[in-house]
Amino acid sequence: MTSLWSSTDFPYFCLRDRQRTRALESAINATVRPGDLVLDAGAGTGILALLAARAGARRVFAVEIDPVLCDHLRRTVAANRLEHVIMVSQDDARNFAGAEVSVLTIELVETGLIDEGLIEVWNALVAAGVVTAETRCIPAGYVTYLQFGYADPSFYGFSIDALRHDWSYYDHDPRAWEPSRFIPLGHRQPVWSASLAGLPVDPEVRARIRVPDTADPVNALRLTGTLDLPGYGPFADSPTLNGPKIIPVALPIDRPPEVEVSYTMSGGYATFACRPWVPATLAPEPELTTPRT
């Protein structure tokens, strides 16, 4: 077994997500200028590479690691007679060693930037000099939020303690999908933000957040985020992009007023931790000694 999931299903699903694709199209049209060199990191179906070519890019490097997607992407480029503009490469985008690019499309976004490799790929491209302070990036930045709440664990007569991906399309047909049954408690709190502007990004996130002062049960955190898309504005989520995640947490019976949340971006949810925050104690000052004469 070389993969746990289908490598072709979700890219096509994303292609059919009109809200997602139109928002990214707006960003590309506002960002790409005639004659630009564009790198599409994680090209998938190639829709962003195609949009960049239509916006006037002189050359688009479409880098995709999956061989099946690459094969179909080459066919797509040929079908649109864009071989002179779009160069398809089957490779890990972290290994791209071409010239400095004018524009980077790096829609390797999973909520909170935890699971997908945006930050890991970004840092590799910055280190290689492919991305500089002059490179325009899509997205141009990201903000991550957390909010406490209660997630009913009941499913089909069992108590299920699982990470939930609450895509918006689940709510479109209640006959097909079980409801989420998440009750938000307290305010949504920002825990991380950064602009993608030519500098490396520290993947380690550590933030203190307030625990809601309520008698209601609290057993989960809802993770959300916002992309900064030039020409479009803040983008929260769509049926296939950046959907809210419900993360189970276990707070002590005597709830602390604050917790510390930590995780590694591009490191996966196994790195996520939520602990009561304990103020650091001040180290005792060293004793002063009189120097001998």
pLDDT, averaged across the chain: 92
Question: Taking 80 as the threshold, does the pLDDT of residue 267 lie above it?
Answer: yes
Question: What are the start-end ranges of the H helices in 80-143?
Answer: 118-127
- Residue entry with tokens 């097909």: 176
Cβ-count burial of 282 within 10 angstroms (0-12 exposed, 13-18 middle, 19+ buried)? exposed
pLDDT at 169: 87
List pLDDT tens digits, range 2-33: 455 567 788 899 999 999 999 999 999 999 99
28's tokens:
């590309």
List pLDDT tens digits, range 37-78: 999 999 999 999 999 999 999 999 999 999 999 999 999 999
List pLDDT tens digits, range 215-262: 999 999 999 999 999 999 999 999 999 999 999 999 988 889 999 999
Question: Taking 60 as the threshold, does the pLDDT of residue 272 lie above it?
Answer: yes
DSSP-assigned letter for residue 112:
G
Task: State the sign of the Cα–Cα–Cα–Cα dihedral 84, 88, 89, 95.
Answer: positive
CB-based contacts of 74: which residues, under 8 Å, 6+ apart? 88
DSSP-assigned letter for residue 1:
-
What residue type is 282 in one-letter code? L
How far apart are the C-alpha atoms of 42 and 108, rounded to whole Å?
Answer: 7
**Apex 267 CA angle, 263 and 271, nearest 5:** 40
Decide: helix, strand or coil at residue 128: coil
Predicted TM-score (pTM) of this structure: 0.91
Question: Taking 60 as the threshold, does the pLDDT of residue 123 lie above it?
Answer: yes
Q: Which helix (H) or strand (E) holds 64?
A: strand 59-64
Domains of the chain in start order, with CATH, are: 9-105 (3.40.50.150), 142-276 (2.70.160)
**Taking each helix axis from N to C terminus, what angle separates 47-54 and 18-31, rounded to the nearest 10 degrees?**
40
Pairing of strands 103-105, 86-90: unpaired
pLDDT at 281: 56
Percent of the residues in the chain that have a pLDDT greater than 70, as a whole number: 93
What residue type is 10 in one-letter code? F
- Least reliable range by pLDDT among 29-33, 110-114, 195-199, 275-279: 275-279
The residue that leads in pLDDT, 180 or 242, is 242
